[in-house]
Amino acid sequence: MNGKLFMKKIKKLLFYYNSLSILKKFLLAPIFGLLLVIPFYFFIFFIMLEMKQSVNIANSALIPLNEASQNNILLLEKITNDINSAVSAKEIEWISASDKNADKIRENLNKYINSNYKKEITQSITAFENYYKRAKDVSIKIIQNSYHYQNIENDTKILVQNYNKVDKLFNDLKFLTKENIEKNINSLYNEANIILLYGSFIFFIWFFISSIIIFLVYKDLKYKIQRIIDDSNEIAYGDVNFEKRLKIVSYDELGQIVRSINIFINKLHKSHEKLTKAKEKLDKLYIIDRLTNVYNRVKIDEIIEIELKRKRRYDHTFSVILIDIDYFKLVNDTHGHLIGDLILKEFSQILKDNIRDTDFLGRWGGEEFIIICTQTDQKGTFALAENLRREIEKFDFTTVGKITASFGIYECRDEDNENSVIENADKALYQAKRDGRNKVVCYNQ
C-alpha cells in the first residue's frame, strides 16, 4: 500500500514538472543548487588532488633535467681532467678520450632542447662547444710546442674564462630547475588555500549568476528553435542549401530534431548529386559522339551559332575546317566496319592531339570531321590544317596503314549564317577532292 502511495506521489510530481514552462524548469536548477553545498567542498578536494597530480607531472619533466644538469657538471670536470692528463703526459692521442664525455653532455642537453628551458640549454650548448673546441686546440698546441709558444698565456686565460662560463651556465640551469620544482610544490599549497578561502563566496555568486545564465540559455534555445523552423521552411519550399547543416550540439529532444533534419538534408543532398550526375551524363550523351568521343553535330551547330553572334557583336573572326577521309568507303569495303570504326577513332585522336585548346572538334557525319577555330583568320587556319594534313599523312593506321584526308577552309563573314558557313566550307572541301585529294583548299568566292 505504501509503495503504491509513493508511486502515486512520484507520478504527480512528474506531471507537475511537465506542466512547467522551459524557463520555470530551468529556475529549478538554482533551488536544487542549494543541495550542492556539501558536494561542492568534495569537488574542491578532488580539484586539489588534480592540482597535485599536475605539479607531479611538471616535476617529472624538471627532475630529470635537474639530474642531467648535475651530471653535466661532473662530466665537465672529467673532460678537464682527461685533457690535463693528456697535456701532462704529452700524448695528443689521449685528448680524444674526452670525446665520450663530451658526447654525453651533448646528449643530456639536446634531450631537453624543446623544453621550456630552450634558451638556457641553447646557450649552454654554444658555450660548451666553444670551450671544448678551444680546450682541444690549446692542448694540442701546448703538447706540440713543449709547453711554450708565443700566445700561451692569452690562450690559457681565454680557456679558463670559457670553462668558468660553461660551469656557470650548467650550475645556473641546475639551480633554475631546482627552484622551479620548489615553486611548483609551493604553488600547490597556495592555490589550495585560495580555493578554501573563497569557496563559500563562489557558491553564492554561482547561485546568482546561474539564474541569469539559465534565462539566457532559454532565450538562446528559443532563437535556435526559431532557426530550425526557418531552415525547415526553406527545405519545405525547395530553397535549401545542400552545403548547409544545422550546427546545434545537443543531446535532448532539440538535438534529436536537429539530427533528423540533418539526416533529411543528407538524403536530399545525395539524391540531388545523383540527379546532377545523371543530368551531366545525359548532357554528355547529347553532345558527344559515342564512337570518337568528340562533339557531335548538335553541339557543333550550337558553337557555330555562338561564334556568329560573337562576330556580329564584337567583330571576332572565326574559321571552319571541314575534313573528309579520302577513300574511306574502300576501307570499310576491304577491312570491314570494325576496322573502319577503329580508323575513325585513331583519326579523331590525331586531330585532338594537334589542335589548340581554343578550337572545337566535332564529327560532322560518317568520315567527315569539323573544327571551329575561334578568333582565327584564313591564314592561321590554313597553317593549322596543313599541319594536320601532314600528321595524318605520316601516321601508320592499324591494319590499313597510310591514309590521307582532304580539307576545306572557310573564314566566316558578317553576312553568314549557320548554313552558309558549312556550305562554303563544304565547297572548299569538294574542290580539294576534285584537285586530287590530300590537299588543303580555302574557299574563294
Would you please indicate which residues are annotated as catalytic (active-site) residues? 367
Are the C-beta atoms of 362 and 369 separated by less than 8 Å? yes
> Among candidates 440, 425, 413, 304, which has minimal Cα distance to 360?
304
Q: Which residues lie across from 370 on neighbouring strands?
A: 322, 362
The CA distance from 37 to 355, in Å, is 83
Q: How far apart are CA 65 and CA 53, in angstroms?
A: 19
Q: What's the first-to-final CA gap in the chain, in angstroms?
A: 114
Backbone angles phi, psi at 371, to 5 degrees: -125, 125
Tell me if 411 sits within 8 A of 307, measured CB to CB. Answer: no
Dist CA 30 CA 35 (whole Å): 9
Phi, psi of 21 (to 5 degrees): -75, 165
Residue 330 identity (one-letter amino acid): L
> Would you give the distance in Å from CA 433 to the centre of its chain?
57
